[in-house]
A and B are shown apart, each in its own frame.
Chain A
Amino acid sequence: MTEQIPRWAQESFWKKVAVWVTGGSFVLLVILTFDSMAKISAGGAKVPAYSVINLDVSYRYDKAKQRFQPVIGAEAPLFGKLLSENEAEQLVSLGKKTVQAKNCMNCHTLLGNGAYYAPDLTKAWLDQGWIAKESREQMMLNFLLDPENNARTFGSNRKMPNLDISQAEAEAVIAFLKWMSAIDTNGFPHNFIALGEGE
């Protein structure tokens, strides 16, 4: 009986294939992971250093690459304070911990991942909803501290609940959002016209 089964249909043949394919794929993934980690560390090619929050951040279409790219400009310190690399990292970290502890991701999306009940925060810092660069920081602060009374629901009636965010946490969340908006996301979102970039 067994002799009649061709080699390619035998259990032992597929067992070997399964082992080699799994092992091979995993080894490749580990190699690619080392390479990716080197490229996405803060200050690397794709992810900016945390001190980028001291600079102007925008997002423009790159003709050569045919996609949108973050553009880092002149000095524009957040809340008028120029921070060292270390201070910037601590502030962004407090912002990210706040975003996690307040469970933001189960309404919003970050880098496109999360729930879909509220807008994507990937480029939130650059959104035209903040009207002008001069009003942006204060508007974001007001919104985070009292979302119900500063709600901008665009007629949807969906409002962010009050999440007991302190002043320090709110400033840190804004720092986190500004830093995140400078990550090179390979052109996502497409067609997004950043605040101050004209029509």
Chain B
Amino acid sequence: MANPHLSGGRKLALHYFGVAMVLFMAQLLFGLLAGLQFIFPSFLYEILDFNVNRMVHINAMVVWMLYGFMGSVYWFLEDESGVEIVGLKWGQLAFWVLTGAVAVVVLVYLLIQIGSGSDTSLWLINEGREYIEAPRWADIGIVAVMLVFFYNVAATFAAGQWSGIAGVLTLDLVALAGLYLAGMFYVTNISVDQYWWWWVIHLWVEATWEVLVGCIMAWSLMKLLGVRRQVVQTWLYIEVALMFGSGILGLGHHYFWIGTPEYWFTIGGFFSALEPIPLVAMVVHSVYDAGVHRFKNSNHPALAWVIAHAFGNFLGAGVWGFMHTLPQINLYTHGTQWSASHGHLAFFGAYATINIAFFYLAAQQARGNVWMGGGLADGWRWKAALALLNIGVMGMTVALLIAGYEQSFIERAVEGSTWAGYFAAQNHPWFIQAMVWRMLFGLVTLTGGGLLFWDLLTIGRGEQRLAPIISEA
């Protein structure tokens, strides 16, 4: 990608963003296939079964979000440190290794799908553990790539200047890479298996990812709105304190029903109830920052997505999460469509939105820091994509919530959780109706995703005006 406007690190970031967008589309597509199978169970039966579609759906999501985060960090690394990226060649190599490995893993998922009950299958095909299904060889590869990424980040800051954002980011990446190791061994005991599995899943998603996003958000607020560094960094530390303070022991809300001791009821319940607090703080902070500047900013689409992030993170991760995490209600809602409802809004609200905001910041610079305010040519596209994606995901979330209520009452409370009770809930017209609504809003989401992709490829092309300079408050 020859681009006179971009440094080496930013060119590498664009590679990451490109793959992220492709994987985002794959996530939507395979989600749609899996959703269709809820309504038409014989659709693609024994060709691409639900388990394959669902696995590709959730794995594409995890991987595109990591690509988005890594791209965002490469994007602001030179700007934040004041020097060129140290070891960029290694970073470029790691990108191609990772992308090649992702392609091989996906092909194996689709073409080979399953193996015999042996270690060979777990090493080469699929580990069969939700969200971290990647075969063991790929796990080792991912850790190697993360080490290169970490080296790029830490060495660049060490060569240039350290800031508050740099310090938080570097320590967060140590935790992020370290936690992945907790999911890389086989044990027969499923309670022990699930205990460590949650270390990766929860501590990633509800702790290290949130803090990583906090760093990305902090940097974008300075660039987008001209917020003072001191203000942003103070908030970043407050968020780290609140996020880790509630999130690390909030892990306990996953330890109610997997064979773990009863004290997790108290610890998990208490810290879960605290978990929404940092997210409220984030909304207040973002809206306040935007309001202080009368929403004056250098990139309308990016700001719109940052605002979508603030609300989406608070609603999806905070409110939707808290609604069903206390053991008092979770006894009935655990393992129902409640979790799917929360998952859809939380991942979108907390992570997809901030990545998309960053894609727009990148698109603006890649085209020469062009105007991205009002009166932008074809400005309807980003607005329509924003509306369709948000309406689509919110619609799916509400439909799945209705299904979750129905399932909790009929399968769990009334029928006592037997298989007959499970199907009584799944066959109920109220459930099927909710799944049809989910499908319709899934199509809305897919349309929005396609439009977003198109817009990112074309926005700002041929634009002659330059972006306004936003000074610090």
Contacts and interface: CB of A to CB of B under 8 A. Distances in A.
Interface of A: 9-11, 14-15, 17-18, 21-22, 25-26, 28-29, 32-33, 35-37, 39-42, 45-47, 50, 89, 92-107, 109-120, 122-124, 127-129, 152-159, 161-164, 166, 169, 172, 180, 183-193
A133 B127 CA distance: 32
Contact of A117 (B50, B240, B257): B50
A112 to B, nearest CB: 3
A172 to B, nearest CB: 7
5 closest cross-chain pairs (CB), A and B = A100-B128, A98-B117, A112-B335, A154-B423, A189-B417
A186 B417 contact: no
B416 A193 contact: yes
A33 B258 CA distance: 14
Interface in B79-125: 113-119, 121-122, 125
B241 interface: yes
Interface stretch (B66-74, B144-152, B243-251, B376-384): B243-251
Of A26, A155, A161, most buried by chain B (CB within 10 Å of CB) is A161
Of B194, B257, B427, most buried by chain A (CB within 10 Å of CB) is B257
A25 B249 contact: yes
B336 interface: yes
A37 B129 CA distance: 20
B116 A166 contact: yes
Contact of A46 (B51, B133, B261): B261
A106 B51 contact: yes
Nearest to B46: A161
A37 B13 CA distance: 41
A101 B122 contact: yes
A63 to B, nearest CB: 17
Contact of B258 (A26, A111, A155): A111
B331 to A, nearest CB: 5
Given A42-B188, A154-B423, A188-B334, 12 more contacts: A14-B241, A32-B267, A36-B255, A40-B261, A97-B118, A100-B127, A103-B52, A113-B258, A127-B419, A128-B418, A190-B416, A191-B417
Of A10, A14, A50, A100, most buried by chain B (CB within 10 Å of CB) is A100
**Chain B: interface secondary structure?**
helix
Given A37-B195, A188-B334, A129 B419 contact: yes
B190 A180 contact: yes
Interface string B413-433: 100111110111011000000
Interface residues of B, number: 85
B57 to A, nearest CB: 9
A183 B188 contact: no
Contacts of B193: 96
Nearest to B247: A25
Interface string B158-201: 00000010001000000000000000001011111111010000
Interface in B292-349: 331-332, 334-337, 339-340
B422 A101 contact: no
B126 interface: yes
B114 A102 contact: yes
A159 B41 contact: yes
Contacts of B52: 103, 106
B37 interface: yes
Contacts of B260: 36, 39-40, 46, 186
Interface string B39-72: 0011001100111101100000000000000000
Contact of B121 (A97, A154, A158): A97
Contact of A18 (B126, B237, B332, B337): B237
A124 to B, nearest CB: 8
B220 to A, nearest CB: 19
A114 B257 CA distance: 13
A119 B411 CA distance: 11
A55 B118 CA distance: 27
A127 B418 contact: yes
